[in-house]
Structure 1
Amino acid sequence: MQPSRATSARAAEQEDSPVQMSVLEGDAALAPQPMAAALAEPDIEADAGISRPGKLGKRRISIQDQSDRLPFRKLLLVFMAMALALLLSFLDSTSVSTALPAIANDFSAAKSISWVGNSFLIANTAFQVLYGRISDIFGRKWVLMGALMIFALGNLLSGFSQNMAMMIVFRAVAGAGAGGINSLAMIIFSDLVSLRERGKYQGLLGAAVAIGGGIGPVIGGAFSEEATWRWVFWFTVPLTAISVVQIFFFLPLKHVVGSFRGKLAKVDWFGTFLILAATIFILVAISGGGSSYAWDSALVIALLVLGGVIFIAFLIVEWKVAPLPIMPLRLFKNLSVCVIFIQTFLVGIVYYGNLYYLPVYFQIVRGKTAIESGVLLLPLVITQTVASTVSGLVVSKTGRYNPSIWTGFVIWTIGLGLQTTFDRNTSIAKIVGYLILEGSGIGQTFQTTLVAAQANGHKQDRAVITGTRNFFRSIGGSFGLAICGSIFNNLLMEHLEASPVLSNSEASAIDSSSLSLPTGLTAAERNAALDAYNSALKPCWYMFLGVGAASAVLSFFVKDNLKDQIEEAQPERKKKSKQDDEEKPKEKEDIGMESDANTKLDESAVGSLSSTPTLEDARNHQVDPLDVTVSEDSAEDHLRKKDGTTT
């Protein structure tokens, strides 16, 4: 029985049988093929996994479906491993924020300290889009374990850094590993659970993301104040090793067929090089513009132009050249998927911006310690965790994700609007209340939008949809931090110089300290500096409000088809099950008819024995040996007579 051609999202949910999926870029349909048929094609794996040319002149590449279903107990063990990996990745990205002042003091590098965070985020963003397709080719398990090892190595070396250059390089290594963790943990769980159950488990993974991102600043501040900032990086290493061990023993290995050389030939090397180069050039330019370098400097302009040209070349390669693109452009033909990518980019701007600049507000404008700053972020984290979990359960129960997405973005936008009222005298109760509102909003959207993207795309594109979506979130975060940094740095100096209380030298000293006020200031000078910091942060809050509102508007353009897919997929499965049940008695009937025919032939040749099957029938695989009921002696006599032998 041949499976039907998958031309709609309904076929994407037929996940219970392994298939070998042929991917042809362009308008050609994505057709799942039976595993046996795919393996029977000549030289698919021997010739680098490349089969016949497609309709558009491109080579057609076979990728293997890695879906699996596990008993609940095993699924729970895998979930714990994935949740720990995600928690560590996001914790590592935010814990450094409260450790930056201590690092800057040790290395005497206040002006370049922002590159500790920027290098991690740039590498995270650049590599994140690659892991989805790489895991399609080499298998999820080994690629995830490799990403975790890279992450651990980067953090270990970061703790041993002796200067700012070493710190920036090693943080980039950790970021490259973290990018793989973020994408693969979500991809793997999408492989292990059905589309209906996906909301529940992705919501729980979203809770791990929220907890990691939220407790990071607390842990970073605690190590910086009570021990040394180096432990901010070192303490993640043994925990990452535990995650690797969990994954090795608990995550089933879905073997991807083919030789290593054949798999290497499937990789879109040209596209990989181009997207890495384009991302790095563009993000280095926007991260350094306005702080390390002037926006109109030759270096920044050259990096932006070069990055833009390389990115255009990348799009052409993915469109016309790559047989198995790392970012298939057909994804952007789907309105809902395209909207979610744009929306995720906007969410990244606000999400990462808040995680980095709320601690600046708490520690400088409000005078809190690093630990207190982290504690003030907990209302945002806890409510985001609860909302992510609850919304996932609701999506799985109702089969609808748009109500959660709409509600979440509206509540989040209201919270961001209230955040614009933050000043030097805002009560702690109001701050906590507003952050609870924001957390309950963003928690309903963080992972629900991933379920929406996967539901609107093809099953074959599940990994690249997840990787591309996370890529847009990270690159949004990079843009957000760069824009906020430019606004904050420029306005801070402007307000300091405009203050009648501060001299030019004092304004320069305060601006150079950036993350802490210099000692020796009078009360009036200190108040003027704090007012300048508060005024410099205000435009960032207003930008967050505008971006959040735009995200809320975009959410109404996402098609909600999860329930329809589930309902349409169920009859397909029932029909297949019914057909299988009907075929089983038919096969037995055919075997019985064949046995009767063979028996009649034997009777005409050697006289009547019995109408029951013989051992010869069993020997010739015509019947099951258990169906032979004649005595051993009569069967042996029959065989001797047939062979012309005598006793």
Structure 2
Amino acid sequence: MLGSMFFQVMMAGYDVSNVANIQAALYDDFGKINLLPLVAHGFSGASAATAPISRRLTHIIDSKILMLAMGVLFMVGGIVSATAHSMETIVVGRFIQGISGGPITQLNFAYISHTSGPYTAQVTGLMGMSWSIGLILGPIVGGAFAQNATWRWAFGIVPIIYALTIPFTVLGYPSNIGRDLSKGSVRMELRSFDNIGSILHMASIILLFIAFSYSGTTFAWKSGSSITLFVVWGVTFTAYLVQQATCIRTRPERRILPITLLKQRTAGLVFLCTVCISMAYAGMLYYLPLLYAFTRNLSPIHSAEKVLPFIATVVFGAIFTGTVLPKVQRYAPFYVVGNVLVLLGSVLIAARTTPSTPIGHVIGLSVMAGLGIRMLMQHGQRVLSAALAPSWFSDVSTIRIMGQSLGTSLGLAMMGCLYQNKGYALLREAISSGVSEQDIRETLAGLKSSVSASSDAQQRALIVQAVTKAITLTLYVVVAAAAVGLVGALALKHEKLDFQKGQKENAGAETGAETETSDSGETGEKTNTASV
């Protein structure tokens, strides 16, 4: 059963990044360059928008039925994208998979918490590793399909592999994982669902992504449409915060967002660090291949090969941290060192890279950043599982999924907005007049255009310089994310955790028991540990 779950989570990770190297092929078939950002971060955005809802559903609906339903929906989304005849259909397929991918991951972690006992932390780490492997394979496998067969297989492989895990779910997945049968019927629970919070949460996430994706490209920054998008998002997000804080038309334990958990110092800071490090990872994974492609005129698959050292370091960093963390027991130093490595690597790439910079220098700095990323990205749930009582596990899984999805999609949306706007301005300044906006947008996306196909060597050099500058400016979002993450890491408690037992170790100070109620309505003991 665990093996099939690892593959399910791996497919969810793969779907986050499988479009990184197939966007040129998609554009060649369908055009509509303005929709490429939604294809890129549609999966992560939908997952972030529905993660809290998935958390509540796991406590209401039969877990096996929910798991099978989400699995079928996940495969349908892959089929919709693989058989699409328009860019809009691909976006729809990506959103369908994002909506279902979150509950699948949530339910798998719920299964671990109920069946793994003292090995929960270790199995959780392996599950996170599976997600990371999928995330790593996405650009490589997707690019290979696009170059050697067709981009459709980058989507089509997902339902095929996932279908192989369905029999294991039918035979081995229990029906009542995380479900509280004492609260009443499913109908009663659904009636008391935080519908207002759910709608406001989804609207806040989706509106923000749309605002970043269309401002400056589809709509001019100073246009009424752009301003309206951000104003509507601001009003919606404010209403969401007020509704969750004051429990309008809901009760504290039924709120869609696990506010009680996020208000705790360790959980809130770990969530912040997860968002920041996911933004950094998404930025490096998507924009390093583009940098290599422009500065060295490489194909998508060869650009992806240049990212392999970064990816290999990410895997090594995960293994290193997973092995050493339980022995050291102090998690705060890992967060500090990891963010410092990402900050140094990204700021040096952003500040010092030019078209003439040796590619080995960029790869070396990306390796530094990759080590820092993997020291942090998958270990937040492990830290919180050891720091908090078992009753919090469902909420911990939710903020982990939401943190990674939100960080990935928000990072790509912000960086895409900056890259398209600054890149357009720099290219417009660098090239001769008479070039259309469409040609400039195609060039920025790494597509064939009249600009990139210019026979004038001097103009080509100016184009490469302008795009390189746009990419390095975009990577300052990674720098900013690492800086914010570092501030959060410095504020973490310097305490020891017993990762083997999944509970706090007494640091020598007097301890006491405090009963806390999670937002999912469960109660558990939390052992207070003095900071060291």
Q: So what's the TM-score if we normalise by structure 2?
A: 0.84
State how 1:164-313 maps to structure 2 within 5 Å: 164-194=87-117, 197-254=119-176, 256=179, 257=181, 259-313=185-239
Is residue 326 of structure 1 aligned with residue 267 of structure 2?
no
Corresponding residue SS for 1:138 = coil
CA contact (8 A) 2:79 2:155 kept: yes
Whole-Å Cα distance in 1 between the matches of residues 86 and 76 of structure 2? 18
Is residue 509 of structure 1 aligned with residue 439 of structure 2?
yes
Is residue 136 of structure 1 aligned with residue 59 of structure 2?
yes
Amino acid at match of 2:395: V
Is residue 526 of structure 1 aligned with residue 455 of structure 2?
no
Corresponding residue SS for 2:475 = helix
Structure 1 residues 479-523: Cα deviation after superposition (integer angstroms, max 9, x where no partner): 322221222122222222322x63342786233443224234322
Whole-Å Cα distance in 2 between the matches of residues 304 and 474 of structure 1? 21
Deviation at residue 554 of structure 1 after TM alignment:
1.4
Whole-Å Cα distance in 2 between the matches of residues 267 and 548 of structure 1? 36
Structure 1 residues 565-604: Cα deviation after superposition (integer angstroms, max 9, x where no partner): 44469xxxxxxxxxxxxxxxxxxxxxxxxxxxxxxxxxxx
Is residue 442 of structure 1 aligned with residue 364 of structure 2?
no
Q: 1:461 and 1:298, CA in 2 relative to 1: closer, same or farther beyond 3 A?
A: farther
Whole-Å Cα distance in 1 between the matches of residues 318 and 211 of structure 2? 34
CA contact (8 A) 1:90 1:212 kept: yes
CA contact (8 A) 1:211 1:381 kept: no
Is residue 362 of structure 1 aligned with residue 292 of structure 2?
yes
State how 1:48-127 maps to structure 2 within 5 Å: 77-78=1-2, 80-127=3-50
Amino acid at match of 2:367: I
Partner of 1:557: 491
Whole-Å Cα distance in 2 between the matches of residues 243 and 293 of structure 1? 44
Partner of 2:314: 384
Deviation at residue 95 of structure 1 after TM alignment:
1.4
Structure 1 residues 260-295: Cα deviation after superposition (integer angstroms, max 9, x where no partner): 323423532232222122222222112222222223
Partner of 1:480: 411
2:334 to 401, 404, 407: 404
Whole-Å Cα distance in 1 between the matches of residues 297 and 170 of structure 2? 46
Structure 1 residues 414-470: Cα deviation after superposition (integer angstroms, max 9, x where no partner): 322332233323334333332322222211111222223344445333212321343
Is residue 546 of structure 1 aligned with residue 480 of structure 2?
yes
CA contact (8 A) 1:112 1:292 kept: no
Whole-Å Cα distance in 1 between the matches of residues 6 and 170 of structure 2? 15
Corresponding residue SS for 1:161 = coil
Amino acid at match of 2:310: L
CA contact (8 A) 2:125 2:382 kept: no
Provide the aligned C-alpha RMSD in A.
2.6
Gaps of 5+ in 2: 508-532
Corresponding residue SS for 1:96 = coil
Corresponding residue SS for 1:111 = helix
Whole-Å Cα distance in 2 between the matches of residues 129 and 425 of structure 1? 47
Deviation at residue 556 of structure 1 after TM alignment:
2.2
Partner of 2:420: 489
Identical-pair percentage: 26
CA contact (8 A) 2:274 2:407 kept: yes
Partner of 2:80: 157
Whole-Å Cα distance in 1 between the matches of residues 433 and 50 of structure 2? 46
Corresponding residue SS for 1:185 = helix
Is residue 451 of structure 1 aligned with residue 386 of structure 2?
no
CA contact (8 A) 1:96 1:220 kept: yes
CA contact (8 A) 2:192 2:250 kept: no
Q: 1:145 and 1:234, CA in 2 relative to 1: closer, same or farther beyond 3 A?
A: same
Amino acid at match of 1:494: A
Amino acid at match of 1:233: F
Whole-Å Cα distance in 2 between the matches of residues 129 and 408 of structure 1? 28
Whole-Å Cα distance in 2 between the matches of residues 205 and 120 of structure 1? 19
Gaps of 5+ in 1: 1-76, 570-647
Amino acid at match of 1:214: I
Corresponding residue SS for 1:481 = helix
The farther-off stretch of 106-115 and 154-163 is 106-115
CA contact (8 A) 1:217 1:370 kept: no
Q: So what's the TM-score if we normalise by structure 1?
A: 0.70
Corresponding residue SS for 2:59 = helix
Whole-Å Cα distance in 2 between the matches of residues 362 and 407 of structure 1? 27
Deviation at residue 229 of structure 1 after TM alignment:
1.1
1:344 to 261, 264, 274: 274
